[in-house]
Amino acid sequence: MTKRDWLQRSTVAVMLSTSLLMLTEGGHAAAAQTVDSQSSAKSVEVVKIANTLIGKDYKYGATGPSSFGSAGLATYIFKQVGIKVDDTIAELYKAGEKVTESNMQEGDLLFFSSTGKGAPSFMGIYIGNNQYIYSSEGEDAVVLKKVSDYSTKLVGVRRVLPADSGTSPTPDPGTTTPETSKIGDKVIEAGKKYLGTPYEYGSTRSNKKTMDCSEFTMWAYKDGANINMGNGGARSQANYVKSHGTYTTDISKLKKGDLVFFMSYKGWKESDYKNINVPKQSITHVGIYMGDNKLLQTFSKESGGVKITDFTGTHWEYRFIMGGRPY
């Protein structure tokens, strides 16, 4: 073999090796991006499903779909996204990888002990924004809580979903972006066009001559934001918000244009609503928050149809269950 032939073959070999290395690295990068994308999608889905289960009954050892135990809630939700996990707190406490509280991500499992130490006695799923959802024996329902209110009882965090550096957090319902602010303003302006429209319980959705509470909010969102929540009532709209948008049970986080959902009227005084288990109450009414302590809504013939009313300091504040945006 001549020196020239040897150099040509060596050059080809180097080029082939380099190409294979680049292909391999590119393949790993593409695979990593796919895993990140899948993981991100799963965490978003876990949060979405968990939100739809708020208010479901608690039942020891139950794994859904109508009632849940503490561990059974996680078992059910992760099964819906294609991940099989155990159905006991003890086993789930060993699942996945350990995570520090400061590095929690949506979809992580949170474990608590009533004494703040030792083996966990109840657990929930972190959904971002300092909130988690769990099935509470004491409240006999699936409820939403703040992690910070239970930080002294938190004994561990486990990540069952694959690590994902690309997960985007669920928007805080209390955060207003220019786009959400613009939509809220448009919804309010669309709703104000119906001021004075007569109230009719169970009104037909085929015309705008009369309206009940949910028909009014339906048209305001159709006209102002081109969002169709369907023809259902207040409870149906609340479920739509949970499935398609962001919501909060903190009245201070409401923003202009948010739908606001209420329980039945029990009296005009704050004391009339004392010791009521709010998550167990049925949603019976919906209105639109205008900001500045005002609601745009319709609720009776006697009140004059669609109108603007005060919010905080009235029975509307005491009847508040949740509020949010269907987008």
Task: Report the number of distinct structural domains present in the chain.
Answer: 2
Nearest to 119 by CA among 186, 57, 70: 70
In a domain, 203, yes or no: yes
In a domain, 43, yes or no: no
Angle value at C-alpha 206, between 202 and 211, nearest 5 degrees: 40
Q: Give the pTM.
A: 0.51
Yes or no: say if 239 and 217 are a contact pair by the CB < 8 Å rule: no
Which residue pairs from 39-42 have beta carbons closer than 8 angstroms and sit at least 24 positions apart in sequence?
Answer: 39/161, 39/162, 39/163, 39/164, 39/166, 39/167, 40/164, 40/166, 40/167, 40/168, 42/81, 42/82, 42/83, 42/107, 42/161
Report d(CA 142, CA 148) in Å as an integer: 18
Query: What does the pLDDT read at residue 28?
Result: 40
Nearest to 184 by CA among 103, 134, 257: 257
pLDDT digits (tens), the chain, 327 positions? 554 454 445 444 444 444 443 334 444 434 334 334 444 568 888 999 999 999 999 999 999 889 999 999 999 999 988 888 888 999 999 988 888 888 888 999 999 998 888 999 999 999 988 899 999 999 999 999 999 999 999 999 999 886 543 333 344 455 555 566 789 999 999 999 999 999 999 999 989 999 999 999 999 999 999 999 999 999 999 999 988 888 899 999 999 999 999 999 999 999 999 989 998 899 999 999 999 999 999 999 999 999 999 999 999 999 999 999 998
CA 21 to chain centre: 43
In a domain, 46, yes or no: no
Tokens of residue 42, six digits? 């799963």
Going across the sheet that includes 97-98, the strands are 67-68, 57-58, 141-146, 131-136, 122-128, 109-112, 154-159, 97-98
Task: Please give the residue range of the domain that contains residue 113.
Answer: 52-159
The DSSP call for residue 199 is B
In a domain, 109, yes or no: yes
Q: What is the CATH number of the domain that holds 237?
A: 3.90.1720.10
- Placement of tokens 């209105």 in the chain: 287
Report d(CA 229, CA 247) in Å as an integer: 15
Residue spans of alpha helices (H) in 53-163? 70-80, 89-92
In a domain, 111, yes or no: yes
